[in-house]
Chains A and B, each alone.
Chain A
Amino acid sequence: MAFGWLPGALGDIAHGAATTILLIAVTTLAGTLLSMLGAAGRRSGPALLKQAIAWYVEVMRNTPFLVQLFFIFFGLPSLGIRLDPILAAMLAMTLNRAAYTIEIVGAGLDAVPGGQTEAALALGLRPRQVFVKIVLPQALKVIYPALTSQIVIMMLESAVVSQIAVRELTYEADMLQARTFRSFETYFVITLVYLALSMALRRLLVAGGRRALGAGVS
């Protein structure tokens, strides 16, 4: 065990961690938005759309993320869609996670009693206002715990995108161990960084949720 290389590598590790955080931030926003659309489509869309969303969820949930990533990054260019590694990673992560959160978001929307919508409409709010100001906050409060654990899982899965050369934490680890020949020590340190990140992320999300959605969020 030797950690003499560590001080010189801190910059690279910080850079990798920043990219990992960027990936999560973007895919959390895009994924939540997409799953709201998906949940809405699954509830009130035409029958064909409902069927399509159901199949999308099944296909995404029953195939490995790594294969989805390769399909998007290596496969799509043959259809003329060429993506940057980081864009391909964001797209793959968003599509993958949305398949898991569509059902969570749907359950949250169902949990808000219909009387809430009727009351808001009776008060003269427009349908969009009813959704944004009345239904969505209540639904978010119900699904928040499930959503936070999905976000943490997504961060752990994001290690895989190093395979298409996105310069995130795991990619930096691969580069470092190739340079220092200290494979075990390098991956050990990076694992600890991931552990710290996932613990911090969970704390942050719980604290942020308490502030934004009120007490009782865990």
Chain B
Amino acid sequence: MIEFTLWDIVRNLLLATRWTVLLSLAAFVGGALVGMVVLFFRISKKTWSRRLASGYIALFQGTPLLMQLFLMFFGLPMLGLRIEPWTAAVLGLTFFASAYLAEIWRSGVDALPLGQWDAGASLGLHYLQELRLIILPQAFSITRAPTVGFLVQLIKSTALTSIIGFEELVRTSNAINNATFEPFKVYGLVALIFFLMCFPLTQYARRLERRGPGR
């Protein structure tokens, strides 16, 4: 049997952390892009479009993320796509993030006084120009704290991708635990690594919140 020193365990965990970080970033960027599209549908003037977006958001907020990941992992191959854990993990977390981000930003758009829209229109701005120049910058600015808060939730959610076989921090720790039989130490270290990633972001979100909207 191979002996594992504490340093061996830590080193392997830190190597696996790369994938957790990468997955979080990819899902956040992807979720922001898709979330923008959902946001456009959600704040549109057309009723059918708003309903469609609300349904999309309700679907992702009303089902467990684990199920969404399973459906990605087992569903996409049925469409003839060859899919690996990494693809399923990124896609699953992207759609999950898009629903939450769209809803957060929508609350920012709703919080703006209607006069902002009127002012934009009276300056002769087109709908898209209004969004780009007046509404969205303000909406993003006042929802910065919950957006960072959601990033923390997303980082924690990447742990679930270990279940569909993506080799990130938690999956690696399961393997190490099976070799060392030291669950207390291994999972304690994993919790510590997650804490070190999330806690600064939580503090940052709290500071943004205290400072209030605006710059």
Instruction: Note whether A and B form a binding pair.
Output: yes
Other-chain contact of B67, A65, A67, A159 (Cβ < 8 Å): A159
Q: Are A170 and B67 in contact (CB under 8 A)?
A: yes
Contact stretch, chosen from B119-127, B139-147, B194-202: B194-202
Please report whether the interface of chain A is mostly helix, strand, loop or mixed according to DSSP: helix
B5 beta carbon closer than 8 Å to chain A: no
Contact indicator per residue, chain A 175-202, by CB within 8 Å of chain B (1) or not (0): 0010000011001101100110011000
Q: Are B194 and A67 in contact (CB under 8 A)?
A: yes
Q: Please give the residue numbers on chain B whose beta carbons come within 8 Å of chain A beta carbons, in ascending order.
A: 59, 62-68, 70-71, 74-75, 78, 152, 156-160, 162-163, 170, 173-174, 177, 182-184, 187-188, 190-191, 194-195, 198-199, 202
Other-chain contact of B183, A62, A68, A71 (Cβ < 8 Å): A71
Other-chain contact of B198, A62, A156, A190, A194 (Cβ < 8 Å): A62
Supposing A68-B191, A160-B160 touch, asked if A170 and B202 sit within 8 A by C-beta, the answer is no
Q: Are A159 and B64 in contact (CB under 8 A)?
A: yes
Q: Are B63 and A195 in contact (CB under 8 A)?
A: yes
4 closest Cβ contacts across the A-B interface? Answer: A64-B159, A74-B183, A159-B64, A62-B198
Q: Closest A residue to B163 by CB, please name it.
A: A163
Q: Are A66 and B160 in contact (CB under 8 A)?
A: yes
Please measure, in the bound complex, the distance between the C-alpha atom of A190 and the C-alpha atom of B70, giving whole angstroms: 11
Supposing A64-B170, A71-B191 touch, asked if A157 and B74 sit within 8 A by C-beta, the answer is no
Please measure, in the bound complex, the distance between the C-alpha atom of A187 and the C-alpha atom of B65, giving whole angstroms: 12
Q: Closest B residue to A191 by CB, please name it.
A: B67
Please measure, in the bound complex, the distance between the C-alpha atom of A71 and the C-alpha atom of B202, giving whole angstroms: 22
Q: Are A194 and B64 in contact (CB under 8 A)?
A: yes
Supposing A75-B187, A184-B74 touch, asked if A62 and B64 sit within 8 A by C-beta, the answer is no
Q: Closest A residue to B75 by CB, please name it.
A: A184
Q: Are A78 and B183 in contact (CB under 8 A)?
A: yes
Q: What are the residues of chain A within 8 A of B182 when measuring CB–CB?
A: 78
**25 pairs from A and B in contact (CB 8 Å cutoff):** A59-B195, A61-B198, A62-B156, A62-B198, A62-B199, A64-B194, A66-B160, A67-B191, A70-B183, A70-B187, A71-B188, A77-B183, A78-B183, A79-B184, A156-B62, A160-B160, A160-B163, A170-B66, A177-B74, A184-B78, A187-B70, A190-B67, A194-B63, A194-B64, A195-B59
Please measure, in the bound complex, the distance between the C-alpha atom of A150 and the C-alpha atom of B59, giving whole angstroms: 17
Q: What are the residues of chain A within 8 A of B170 when measuring CB–CB?
A: 64, 66-67, 70
